[in-house]
Each structure stands twice: as C-alpha cells, then as structure tokens.
Structure 1
Amino acid sequence: MSALIRGTATVAALAAATGAGIWAGQTDLLKLPPTPAAVITEARAEEPRPVIYYRDPDGKPLYSPTPKTTDDGRPYIAVHVGEDGTSSSPTAKPETKPVVDSSGTRKIKFYRNPMGLPDTSPVPKKDSMGMDYIPVYEGEDSDDDSIKVSPAKIQRTGVETVAVTRRPLVRTIQAPGVVQLDEQRIAVLAPRFDGYVVSVGPVTTGTHVMKGDVLAKVFGQEVLNQAARLLIEQTWTKIDEASELPGLKGPAGVVGATRRLRNLGVPEEFMDEVKRERSVPDTFTYRSPIDGYVLERNWSDGQGFKAGDVGFRIADVSVVWMMADVAEGDINGVKPGQPVTVTTRARPGRTFKGKVTVIYPQLNKETRTIPVRIELPNPDLALLPDMYGDVDISTGNATALTVPASAVIDSGNRQVVLVDLGNGRYEPREAKLGRRGDGYIEIMSGVAEGDRVVSNGNFLIDAESNLQSALKGFETRQTTEASQ
C-alpha cells in the first residue's frame, strides 16, 4: 500500500516536471494576446493626418489653404494636424457651441490668424512661428459695413478722432519772388533848362540822403532872366497897390513870372530869396526831394548840361515791391488785397508781411507763370533791390464743411473717411471732396456736421476692415465647399 502511494507520487512529480519543461519551451506562447485598446492606437498611428494649411518652404511668413508652389517651382510644405499646436487626434471634433471667456459675458466664435491670413480655427492654436491665434467674439464680425476694433488696439496705436466742422478754408500758394523798387517812390533830378554845374554836394552813388540835403549848385541864364523879370513885376505890383487909380492895378504880371520859374523847375526857396533880398543870385541850389538812396549821380563840378539831362536818380526804399512768379494753375486763387508772408535767405528767421496789389495781365510762356506784385513795408531797409525771397500767399477764406486731410483715405478712384460710431466700431463712408486747404479738405457729401471721423490711425482701421472682409469671404467659401 505504501509502495503504491510512493509510486504514484513519483509518477506525478515526473509528469509535472515534464509538463513544465514542455511549456517553457514554447516561447511564443509566453506572449499575451494584444488588448483591443492597443490595436486601436496602433491603427490610428498609421492613419494619415489631415493637412490644415501649407507654408513657404523657406520659412517666410507665406501661407496657403491649398497646395501651392513658389516662384521657382518648389512646393509649399504641408502642415498637418498636431504640427501647429492643434490636437493630434483626427477624430477629436471641435466644440460646436460658442466658447465662453473667463468673464462669462462674451462668446468666442472662432480664432483668426495673427498675421492677417485667411485662416481660422474653431479652437485655440498657434501658427508656425508660435504666435497665438486671436479670438473673435460674437458681435465683432457684424453683418453690416462697420468695423470693430478692440479698445486695447485703439489705445496702442493712438487712434484719434475729430469732429466734422465748418471752418474758413485757407490755402497757401507758394512762389519765388524778387525784391524791386517801388516805381512810385523814385525821384529824378533833370533840369528843364541849359546850364552848368557849379558844385556837387557830398553825395555819391549809394549814399543815403534825407529830404532837403544839398545835391548840387547850378547856373542857368534863363533862370536868371526870369528872376530879373520877377523883380520888375514885383516892383510894378507895389506901385499898383499904392496907386488909387483902378486901371493901374495888375497882379497878373507877377503870376506870369512866378509860373515861368516854376515851369523851369526852380525851387520855391529861390523865388522867395529873390523877393526878399530884392536881388538875383548867380546860382541856385538843388536839394533832395525825398529820403532815399542815390541810384545815379551823373554830374561833376563844372560840368555842363542840357535841358532834360538826368543829374541824380534817388529811390525811397521804405516800401518795396516783391515780384512773385505764381504758377498758371494757382493764379485763379490769387486776388488783390490778400495777405502775404515773405522770407529771405539774407534775413533768416525774419518774416515780412505785405499784401497783393497787382496781378499782371500777362503770362511768361517759358516758365508758365504770371507776375504778381506784392507791396512790402521796409522801415529798417532790410529788403534790398534784387534780393530773392519765398512768397506765401494766403488765398480763400470762405467757410466750408471740412475734415483734416489725414482723415481721407484716397485710393485714387475712391475717397473714404472712417466715421466713429462709438464703442470701438467704425464705419467707412465714401466721400465727395471739394477744395483743398492747408491741412483740411472740403467735404461735399458723405458725412454731416458733427460726425466724428478718424484723423490718426485710419490706415490701421482700414487694414482691419480688409482683414475682416477677407475672413468673411473665406468663411463663405468654406461654407459653400462644405455644402457641396
């Protein structure tokens, strides 16, 4: 019995040992069968990931939603899901409901490319350069033509607005000019009789003389003859005054001698001296008739002269002319009496005020300019003849509805202003422009008085408008393709 039990135990031990060796030798049977989750993961890893966009092969900030090639024929690089900060799971569907921000008040509709490309995403993502996509909230992509800009962006870029108001529209016309003498302030000394120069006063060309200064002493026989006649007529006048016979009174004779001397250009002081001294001097003195500069001195001591010969030419430069050459296209705005400001290189930092007096009725066909005469006071004689100057003529002062010139976005074919609607919303309006002034433009239509328009930063808002329009067009195209 005991032997039988021992035999049975021995057989069982041998069988167990044999079975263990056989099982251990089957190496393939040591591996566990794969689980369903591992099979799904491996299958998904092998599936192709969808392409979200294509980028430039050189790393430039150039993108395309469809396959594209560079100018030299190289294809753009495809960016797949998971390579641009998005979820790598192709089966992960974006949240269809609008995302609520941290404040719980506004809902995010989608995210747009930070570089302004027509690329949107329903979930937060980054572009190839690591920049976050910008959220677009409900109400920021309205269906009307207005533009919504965030307050932070407005503050960063310094957007400024001004009210549309009525103001005098002044335009400054600029032209070159040359200082000239006032023709009405030039005095010429030319005797009306033949004679000789006894002596010339202490004056030369360029000398500044005052009214009454001695220019020259001259002798003229005709003057002496008329002076002697003046004495005779004066004597007869006294006899007539003393006579009680009315037929002997004749004052007309004295008037005749005096008139002849005046016609000869003899000064009054010479005639007064003849009457006072009761004698005829051999010479008389010519004095300066005005204050000014001696332009010409043609006499010398002992020189003879004929009637009409110019002895001296004197110019008063307390008032001068500025002859400006105004362009043909600007002459319509110039009118007599308009204020003028003149600057010169010879007097830096100084400005001279004057007014337009004459517009010449002639055109210089070589330069296509029209001469305009400007009268300038010159009390300190700072402006000299033939001096160059820069002329600014202020033209027009009629009141008009105006906006700053910087508020108009001019594309050549259309002119647009951006009207501030409040709360960061702006509306582009096409405007009809009128006259242009210094920094302002007349608005014929498009805005009303009191509207506020963007005067600084309008190009930023215009770029934002183009971006929003591109995004709307991109969304419309995606919707159309999805429906097909």
Structure 2
Amino acid sequence: MKRSILLVVAAAAIAAATVAVIISRPFVLSSGDTKHAHVIAQAEPAAAAIYYQDPDDKPLYSLVPKKTSDGRDYRAVPAGADVSFDDPAEVAAAPPADRKIKYYRNPMGLPDVSPTPKKDSMGMDYIPVYEGDDSDDGSVKVSPGKIQRTGVKSEPAVRRVIRTMIRAPGTVQLDERRVSVISMRAESYVQKVADVTTGAHVVKGQPLMEIYSPAVSSAAAEYISTLNSKVTGGSEGPYGRGSRQRLMNLDVPEAAILAIEKSRNVPIGIEWTSPRDGIVLERNVTEGMRAQPGDVLFRIADHSVLWAIIDVAERDLGSVAIGQRATVRARSFPGKEFLGKINVIYPQINKETRTARVRVELSNPQLLLIHDMYVDAEIDTGSPEAVLAVPESAVMDTGSRQAVLVDKGGGRFEPREVKLGQRGEGYVEIREGLAEDDAVVVSANFLIDAESNLKAALKGFAEGAQP
C-alpha cells in the first residue's frame, strides 16, 4: 500500500515538472538563432526536482524542500532518477535475474498463494517468492533490512528452574489438636479460683482452681482404703487398680492423685491444674459456683503452632499440592515472614467467592501470630527441577495451538508448534517441539509473521497455506 501511494505521488510530481518545462519553452530557436540562447539556458534547468527524500534514505518523502529534525536538508530527487522505495538493504539483497519464481503470495499477509501473477481485491500485485526464499521445511527467509528495522532478537532455549508464585489472602486459625477444655465430670463446687484471666498465658501444671466434689472425695476415700489394705495384705490387687482408675475417670489431675497416695488423707478440695502451655481463651468460673458435669470452666489453646487458612482461587487450585512451601506475612508485622508447608487442601469450593481453602501449618515460637489475624500468603508451586524454557514473549498463541519462531540463521526463520507447561517469572516451560539451545525469536516475532507472510509458510499450521 505504501509503495502504491508513493508511486502516485511521484507520478503527480513528474507531471507537474513536465508542465513546468513545457511552460518554460514558449518558442523554438532555429539553428542559426543565437540571440536568445542565454535566456533559454536560464529558463531550462538541467534537471528539476520532482520530490525530496530523507538524506539517510529513510522511507520519508516530501513534495517541497524540507529539513530533518537535526537541521539537514532533504535530498532532491530529479526527474528521470532511478527511484526505489524499498529498503536499501533489501535492494542490495534482491535476488538475481536467473532465480526462478516459485509462487506468488498475498501482499496483505493472508494465507493465499498463486502459481501465476495475480492481483488481490484492492488491485495490489501478489508478491513473488523465489526459490530459496521459501524452503520445503516451512521456513521463510526475511531480508536483513527487515530484521534490523523490526528489532528482531533471538534467545536460546535453556533449562532453568521456573518459580510460580500464587498469592492469596487468609486468616490464622487455632490448631484443633492443641486446644484443651477443662470441665467437671461430676457435680462439683468451686472453692477458690487462681489469679488467671482470659488472655493470660499459663503453663502446664499451673493451678487454676480448687474444687470440692462429693464423687471425687468418695473415690479418694476408696483408693486410700485400698492403699492401706495393701500395706497390711501385701498386694494391691485388681480392686486397688480399679479404685485409682475411678479417680482418673473423674479427670482428677495426676498431681492430686500422687498427693493422695503420699498423704493417705482424703482432701476436702482438689487442686485443678492446666493440662498444657497456652493462652486462656475462656474463663467461665467464679468462687462458690456449682459446676454441673460438662460445663466448660476453662478453654486453653497452645499458640506455638497455628494454622493459616488460605483462600486459593479456583483457577490456581490445579497448581497447588500438599507439601509445597508457603511464605505467610501478617499485615500487623510488615517485613516479618513465617514459613510453612501445605498439609491439607479442603475438598470444597466456596460458591460465592469461587475459592478453595488450603491449610498451612506455621510455627509461632514468639507467639506473634494470633488466631483470626489476617495474613497474605505466597505459595511456591514451581518444581525444584530445571525444565526447558523460553521467554513468554517467544510464544505465539492462536488459542488452540502455540508456536515459536526458530532462528536458523542467515535471516531464515522456521515456525514450530510447541507444547507448553508451567509458567513463571516471565518464562514458560516447553514440553514438546524444541531442543536445548534452539534459538527462538523473543522480540518482534509478530512483526516477522506480518512482514514475511509466515501464515502461508506454516503448511498445516495455518489452513490453506499449501503453495
């Protein structure tokens, strides 16, 4: 299209120059008339400029004198000059006259070829393709001028480790296995409560309250009687073991049972202690109250290990697997990272958010994380093994197929269909179609496709491209 426009401009300029020459010749001198020879010499220039071209031979033209951005004059092109609107590098690389034309391709880059000269629907001539420019292997040769003008760059396919990070929000939750509830298994009365409140940190064995329970006192008296009979009879027997088990069934702390064995006295009140290190989440006890069986008096949770429940988008769920590493950052502690691994993928999708829950176990030795705290997670879904990869910009995706342009050197490019794998950090895995160190075009590949009509050269990759 550009060539046609410029030819029209040049033709108009030539016509204007011709008219100017005719006007400058109002009469014809005879061979002996020398009176007006000097006047005619001045009115008839050696060659009139029909247009002006960029001094660097760039495809920039003007009908009037013009200057470049750096102040240089455009070069005047006189009538009758050998005009070429092609890239100088392409003209230099033009095929010799003895080369045969193989076929003609569509000038607009459409997958349409012809064995004979032809025009398209807009009247543009089909472009000849010479032998050697289009080989039987489907490769296409592009002139050095076009390669330089379009900024084509190639890069070899190499093996590299692809890191793919999935970023998702989540919340901190308690480890269900590290929560203890203190309740009575028989009717009891609270005689004293320790100075422990909700949110306080307690350690295993720390006193929480003192309880009087008729059932516990009866079991303690029975156990003491068994112990005393053992001293006289010399054997505790099954009955003695059963008496101790009764105290254990009433959930009497082990320290209280040992104290009964040592003192051989029935205590009025039993000291109840914490079963684990942790934070007091609930305190539902006051002095003098009556506690019924099953009433929750204390609830204590160990915060040294917590869960991060991450909401992963449904589209990313296929990349997530148990054992993958995850980095969790709490919004309350900028710059602080907590490392963990995925140990559970919940088999359910949230209908409203279209996300799945993923559980990451986190170590919390400094007790900085608190349950229900918001966090942001990065899940490393990449494989630690190196895979063959190319930059994502090298892949031309038609939707149903993916291809790359292999740089075979000498301006020749071969389109090749590939099978892709995982993506990450600007690279994509190539599972089929390339070998290691194959050079692929990573920049201006679509320009090459348009310039050299690669669709016509794919021979099966694009339909109707058989020459």
TM > 0.5 fold call: yes
Q: 1:93 to 1:211 in 2, by over 3 A?
A: closer
Identity of aligned residues (%): 36
| 1:251 pairs with one of 237, 254, 257 | 237
Contact 1:337–1:355, Cα closer than 8 Å, also in 2: yes
Q: Does 1:145 align with 2:135?
A: no
In structure 1, how many angstroms separate the alpha carbons of the residues matched to 2:299 and 2:265? 32
**Alignment correspondent of 1:171:** 164
**Alignment correspondent of 1:231:** 224
**Alignment correspondent of 1:209:** 202
Q: Which amino acid aligns with 1:403?
A: V
Once the two structures are TM-superposed, the CA of residue 413 in structure 1 deviates from its matched residue by 7.3
**Alignment correspondent of 1:407:** 394
Once the two structures are TM-superposed, the CA of residue 172 in structure 1 deviates from its matched residue by 2.2
> Deviation digits for residues 10-66 of structure 1, max 9, x if unmatched?
xxxxxxxxxxxxxxxxxxxxx844449947974988x9x86799xxxxxxx9989xx
Contact 1:147–1:465, Cα closer than 8 Å, also in 2: no
**Alignment correspondent of 2:255:** 269
Contact 1:163–1:450, Cα closer than 8 Å, also in 2: yes
In structure 2, how many angstroms separate the alpha carbons of the residues matched to 1:163 and 1:331? 32
Q: Which amino acid aligns with 1:365?
A: K
In structure 1, how many angstroms separate the alpha carbons of the residues matched to 2:41 and 2:320? 91
Q: Does 1:351 align with 2:341?
A: no
In structure 2, how many angstroms separate the alpha carbons of the residues matched to 1:217 and 1:409? 76
In structure 2, how many angstroms separate the alpha carbons of the residues matched to 1:205 and 1:198? 19
User: After superposition, where does 1:405-444 map in structure 2 within 5 Å?
Assistant: 405-410=392-397, 415-421=402-408, 425=411, 427=413, 429-439=415-425, 440-444=427-431
Q: Does 1:449 align with 2:436?
A: yes
In structure 1, how many angstroms separate the alpha carbons of the residues matched to 2:314 and 2:439? 37
> Deviation digits for residues 301-357 of structure 1, max 9, x if unmatched?
111101111110001011111111122222122221111111222111122111111
Contact 2:52–2:76, Cα closer than 8 Å, also in 1: no
> Deviation digits for residues 193-235 of structure 1, max 9, x if unmatched?
1111111111100111111211111111111111111111112
In structure 2, how many angstroms separate the alpha carbons of the residues matched to 1:404 and 1:435? 13
In structure 1, how many angstroms separate the alpha carbons of the residues matched to 2:93 and 2:357? 67
Once the two structures are TM-superposed, the CA of residue 85 in structure 1 deviates from its matched residue by 2.5
In structure 1, how many angstroms separate the alpha carbons of the residues matched to 2:211 and 2:236? 33
Q: Which runs of 5 or more structure 2 residues have no equivalent in the other structure?
A: 1-32, 66-72, 95-107, 109-131, 455-467
SS in 2 for 1:87: strand
> Deviation digits for residues 283-315 of structure 1, max 9, x if unmatched?
111111111110000001111101111110001
Once the two structures are TM-superposed, the CA of residue 148 in structure 1 deviates from its matched residue by 5.5
Q: Which amino acid aligns with 1:278?
A: R
| 2:178 pairs with one of 185, 194, 210 | 185
Q: Which amino acid aligns with 1:390?
A: D
| 1:87 pairs with one of 77, 80, 87 | 77
> Deviation digits for residues 161-207 of structure 1, max 9, x if unmatched?
54312344443222211111111110110111111111111110011
SS in 1 for 2:279: strand
SS in 1 for 2:390: strand
Once the two structures are TM-superposed, the CA of residue 466 in structure 1 deviates from its matched residue by 4.6
Q: 1:94 to 1:373 in 2, by over 3 A?
A: closer
**Alignment correspondent of 1:293:** 279
In structure 2, how many angstroms separate the alpha carbons of the residues matched to 1:434 and 1:223? 70
**Alignment correspondent of 1:199:** 192
In structure 1, how many angstroms separate the alpha carbons of the residues matched to 2:238 and 2:420? 71
Contact 2:50–2:79, Cα closer than 8 Å, also in 1: no
Q: Which runs of 5 or more structure 1 residues have no equivalent in the other structure?
A: 1-30, 54-60, 65-76, 111-117, 119-140, 242-248, 471-484
In structure 1, how many angstroms separate the alpha carbons of the residues matched to 2:197 and 2:236? 47
In structure 2, how many angstroms separate the alpha carbons of the residues matched to 1:372 and 1:256? 46
Once the two structures are TM-superposed, the CA of residue 448 in structure 1 deviates from its matched residue by 1.8
Contact 1:432–1:446, Cα closer than 8 Å, also in 2: yes
Q: 1:410 to 1:79 in 2, by over 3 A?
A: farther
Q: Which amino acid aligns with 1:256?
A: G
In structure 1, how many angstroms separate the alpha carbons of the residues matched to 2:148 and 2:374? 50
SS in 2 for 1:237: helix
Contact 2:51–2:78, Cα closer than 8 Å, also in 1: no
Once the two structures are TM-superposed, the CA of residue 109 in structure 1 deviates from its matched residue by 5.8
**Alignment correspondent of 2:26:** none
Q: 1:107 to 1:307 in 2, by over 3 A?
A: closer
Greater Cα offset, 291-300 or 348-357? 348-357
Contact 2:419–2:433, Cα closer than 8 Å, also in 1: no
Q: 1:444 to 1:270 in 2, by over 3 A?
A: closer
Q: Does 1:336 align with 2:312?
A: no
Contact 2:51–2:63, Cα closer than 8 Å, also in 1: yes
> Deviation digits for residues 352-374 of structure 1, max 9, x if unmatched?
11111111122211111111111
Once the two structures are TM-superposed, the CA of residue 89 in structure 1 deviates from its matched residue by 3.5
SS in 2 for 1:372: strand
**Alignment correspondent of 1:369:** 355
Q: Does 1:220 align with 2:206?
A: no
Query: Whose Rg is larger?
Result: 1
Q: 1:79 to 1:301 in 2, by over 3 A?
A: same
| 1:322 pairs with one of 288, 308, 319 | 308
Q: Which amino acid aligns with 2:191?
A: V
In structure 1, how many angstroms separate the alpha carbons of the residues matched to 2:43 and 2:430? 68
| 1:389 pairs with one of 375, 380, 385 | 375
User: After superposition, where does 1:76-155 map in structure 2 within 5 Å?
Assistant: 85-90=75-80, 92-93=81-82, 108=92, 145-147=140-142
**Alignment correspondent of 2:101:** none
Q: 1:164 to 1:93 in 2, by over 3 A?
A: closer
User: After superposition, where does 1:469-484 map in structure 2 within 5 Å?
Assistant: none
TM, length-normalised to structure 1: 0.65
Q: Which amino acid aligns with 1:361?
A: P
Q: Which amino acid aligns with 1:318?
A: S
Once the two structures are TM-superposed, the CA of residue 428 in structure 1 deviates from its matched residue by 5.6
Contact 1:416–1:428, Cα closer than 8 Å, also in 2: no
Contact 2:193–2:287, Cα closer than 8 Å, also in 1: yes
Once the two structures are TM-superposed, the CA of residue 446 in structure 1 deviates from its matched residue by 4.2
In structure 2, how many angstroms separate the alpha carbons of the residues matched to 1:274 and 1:43? 131
Once the two structures are TM-superposed, the CA of residue 378 in structure 1 deviates from its matched residue by 0.9
